[in-house]
Chains A and B, each alone.
Chain A
Amino acid sequence: MHPARKQRLILVTLLVALSSAAAGFVTYAMRSNMDYFYAPSAFVAGEVPFEKRIRAGGCVVPGSVVRDQDSLDVRFALTDGNAELEVVFDKILPDLFAEGEAAVVTGKLQKDGYVRADQVLAKHDESYTPPEVAETMQNKASCGGDAKI
């Protein structure tokens, strides 16, 4: 290869390597800020501030969804396999919200240790199956007991 071309090849490689390293350091330094939500374990560990708008995500614990008789409130628990977090919500849940499925809620952590949410989003998983196949799989919950949300 011509020496001038070789030099330019080295320069281009260096440019890509150094800018990648820079971006890598920045994303590494901000890694916790890049998470879209806190896992329930972070709430139990006391990493989440009270009375500030935060997001929590996890698997909706099967059997935990309870609707209040006198108000629109619905209560449910989120889990990441290690800890559980109680959530209270008073608006309409998304269609794909279900027990055993993942959800992401936005709200404020109350002093009593539960989150009063003003938004609940359903998080679907990466598996796609026709209804007949899903039935034969015995209604397998997509995120139950799995630590990875």
Chain B
Amino acid sequence: MAWQWFHRLGSPRWFYQKSSAWLPWLGGAGLILLLVGCVWGLGFAPEDAKQGNSYRIMYIHVPAAFLALAGYYIMAICGAIGLIWKMKLSFVVMRAAAPIGAALTFISLFTGAVWGKPTWGTYWVWDARITSMLILFFLYLGVMALSGAFSREQSADKASALLALVGTVNIPIIYKSVDWWFTLHQPATLKLTEASTIDPSMFYPLITMIAGFYLFYAWVLTLHTRSLILQREWRTQWVRELLGQSSVATGSTR
């Protein structure tokens, strides 16, 4: 009995119907926070004493990197739940998370390169932080490739879940790389256990952007999961009814 809610959560149909109510809230709140954070960070936060205005790339770079790492855990945990409980929806969320995570990893690598040129004097170095982040990008691409490489959906789900799970070892390595080894990349500015080394006037827009990225991530993940559900379940009665209704409603003809 205690597991009933958990199994109901695994139903793609239940998720599809419930999540349509979440979308405007996630998307609306996310976009408002991103807009406020951007204007605040780019327009009103003071410039940095050493780096001048170039430090403002942080307001994209840091949240994108945060979500690239957190998104990997979401993908891997969904893969584990799918493997253990044979839950269809969990695999769908795992597949939906892969391209979003890859895009966020690319954004953090790209903005890091753009930021590196004016501060370090180079776009790219092979230090532990940047290299492990590049490996994360390849892991995301690997999960995407594996999930499309099988003709049987179940095989694809299992294989990509296994790769996602094995790849989780990279996340703590990325996170701790700047402490374990000499790197060109700076150590963490936002710290969990001690005071962050960033002025409050720069910190508040950053935390706004991070919150905005989280909501935006949830919004995009839900949207992508919904579209994958429709693709996978197109044979089922409820999807046929849903699509039949909407094609009548929009008046589309074949």
Contact = CB atoms under 8 A, between A and B. Distances in A.
A20 B119 contact: no
Chain B interface size band reads: 35 or more
Given A12-B165, A36-B183, A104-B184, A128 B83 contact: no
Interface in B47-83: 47-51, 55, 58, 80, 83
Contacts, number: 126
22 contacts: A5-B84, A12-B165, A24-B169, A34-B177, A37-B184, A57-B182, A95-B119, A96-B50, A97-B121, A119-B121, A120-B121, A121-B125, A124-B186, A127-B197, A128-B55, A128-B199, A129-B199, A130-B46, A130-B48, A130-B202, A133-B199, A134-B49
A8 interface: yes
B122 A121 contact: yes
B210 to A, nearest CB: 15
B84 A9 contact: yes
Nearest to A9: B84
Interface in B79-130: 80, 83-85, 118-122, 125-128
Interface of A: 1, 5, 8-9, 12, 15-16, 19-20, 23-24, 27, 31, 34-39, 57, 94-97, 101, 104, 119-135, 149
B36 to A, nearest CB: 20
Q: Name B's interface SS.
A: loop
Contact of A34 (B168, B180, B199): B180
A134 B52 CA distance: 12
B49 A129 contact: yes
Given A8-B83, A12-B165, A130 B180 contact: no
Contacts of A31: 180-181
Interface of B: 3, 46-51, 55, 58, 80, 83-85, 118-122, 125-128, 162, 165-166, 168-170, 173, 177, 180-184, 186-189, 197-199, 201-202
